[in-house]
Every structure is written in C-alpha cells, then in structure tokens.
Amino acid sequence: MGLSAVERLRVLLRLIKVEHTLFALPFLYSGAVLASGGVPEGRVLLWITLGLFAARTAGMCLNRLIDREIDAANPRTARRVEMLNLLSPRFVWLTVGVSFALLLLSALMLNPLCVLLFPLVAALLVVYPYTKRFTWLSHLVLGSALGMAPLGAWAAVRGSIELPALLLFAAVMFWVAGFDVIYALQDVEFDLRYGLFSIPARFGEEAALRLSGVLHLMSLLSLWLLMRVCELGAVYGFGLVVMGGILALEHLLARRRHIGPAFFHANAVFSAAFLVFILLGVVLR
C-alpha cells in the first residue's frame, strides 16, 4: 500500500531538510531589508520567500537524486536513499520540475533582472551535486548557491545589482563554504575511498580547519566592508563581534569533533544574528 498524500509530504520535508531552509531565510531578508532601507513591501516579501523555498526544494531534491548511489554507499547518508525510495525517484523529479516552475514564476512576478538571474540560480543548483566528483572547490559552489539568496532579494527590490548586494553574496558564500568544509570532516575516509573531492580529503583535516577559518574571516571581512559602504553604524559593528564569536565557537566545536546539534544550532544563531544586526543597522543609521 502506498503512502497517503500527508505521509508523502512528511517524507518529502524530511528528505529536503526543510528546517534548514529557515537558516537561509535571514540572508534572503537581509538583502531585501538593506535594499529597501527597511521592511520591504509585502508583495516582494511573498515572492522572494516562495522563490527561496522553491530553489532550495529543487536543489535538495536534485542532490538526493544525483547522489543516490553515493549516499547509499555511505552509512551516514544511507537513510536519505531509503526516504527517496519511499517517495519514488519519479515523484522527486516531478517535485524538481514544479519547484523550478515556481522559482521562475516568482522571478516573473518581480522584475526582468530576477528573470535573468533565474538560469544562473538553476545552473548552480544542477551543477553543485556533480562538483564533488571533480573539484574540491565544491564548497564554494554550494556557498554561491546560497549567496544568491540575498543578491536575488536585492535585485527583487532595486531591479539592479550594486556593491552591497555583491558584499552580501560574498559574506554568505564564504560563510557557507567555511562550515561546509567543517561538515565534510565527517566523510574524509569515505571521500578518499570513493574518489570524491573535498578540502579535507585533498589537504588533510588540520589544513581543512585552517582553510575553513580563512573562509570565515573572509565572510567577516565582507560584512565589515558592508558596514563601511552602507554606513550601518556601531550597533551593526557590535553585531560583527557577536557573529565573530559564534564562528569562533563553531571552530572550537569542530576541533573537538562536535559536528552535531550544537554545531548546527550555532549556524542557526549566526544566520539570525545576520538579519537582526543588519536590520538594526539600517533602522538606527
């Protein structure tokens, strides 16, 4: 007997880790807040939110479909394949198609620049799962995919791409790449055995931790430059210190190999702080 519609939805939400989508929303809204100089209009908020959920759903489904053989061979990720089989690959491919259609609709409802950005976002989502097969720069490709969220939100408000949008993109790209390098520490032996590429597998665990630190410093530098360009003030500057402390905690946890709930909670707090301090910087400047 097949799954009911409600059961299928529950499995799909677990498959795409919908709770992690909430990590991305603060970055999306930060771009919109900074571009509008406050809270953007409701129509823009609606379509950028739908666009983000659509993009992340498509990206996660593609990742599960393209990597299903790799995931099945890795004990840490074998559960993903079980959930994929519960739904059937055909259903998940259909979800990808519907998600891309919703993403395109969201772009069409915003402005021509968002429509022009659609192929780039789609390409990043399709290409990323393959990059771990040939380059250790896959971490930066993943970061670029999420970095499109604040850049796209800025474009949705302004209809243009300006320096603050590029700095937001860089900040998110380097942050994501940095924590993805740490996350990859869990699979070093598997990656080496299976011929997959990652910074820990290529350079070793100690060098990977140092490179992750450099990436996170580059993220903070991008955020500092954003403060100077947008004149965000002392409260935002204090927020930079807070965010730096959160990243330091992440690295402490990583060095102790506590890459679990505490690590992901730190990421969630970082993303929330990102939005809160940008909002305060805009309101109080």
d(CA 64, CA 89): 9
CA atoms within 13 A on the CB side of 109: 17
* Joined tokens for residue 216: 């996170």
Q: What predicted TM-score, i.e. pTM, was given to this entire model?
A: 0.94
Look up tokens 């990436």; give the residue.
215
What are the structure tokens assigned to 255, written together? Answer: 């060095």
Residues 202, 278: Cα–Cα separation, whole Å: 36
> How many angstroms separate the Cα of 153 from the Cα of each of 28, 48, 125?
6, 6, 17
Instruction: Output b/e per residue, 139-178; b: 16+ Cβ within 10 A.
Output: bbbbbbbbbbbbbbbbbbbbeeeeebbbbbbbbbbbbbbb
CB neighbour burial string for 107-122, b if at least 16 within 10 angstroms, e if fewer? bebbbebbeebbeebb
Q: Tokens standing for 254?
A: 């990583």
Could you give phi then psi for residue 198, rounded to 5 degrees? -160, 160
Ranges of residues in the chain whose predicted pLDDT is under 50: 1
Token pair, residue 166, equals 């590029």
Per CATH, the number for 8-284 is 1.10.357.140
Type of residue numbered 174: F
Query: What is the domain partition of the chain in residue ranges?
Result: 8-284
Q: What is the pLDDT of residue 253?
A: 87
Q: Among 67, 95, 71, which Cα is nearest to 11's?
A: 95
Q: What pLDDT score does 2 carry? A: 67
Q: For the chain, what is the total number of helices (H) and then of strands (E)?
A: 14, 0
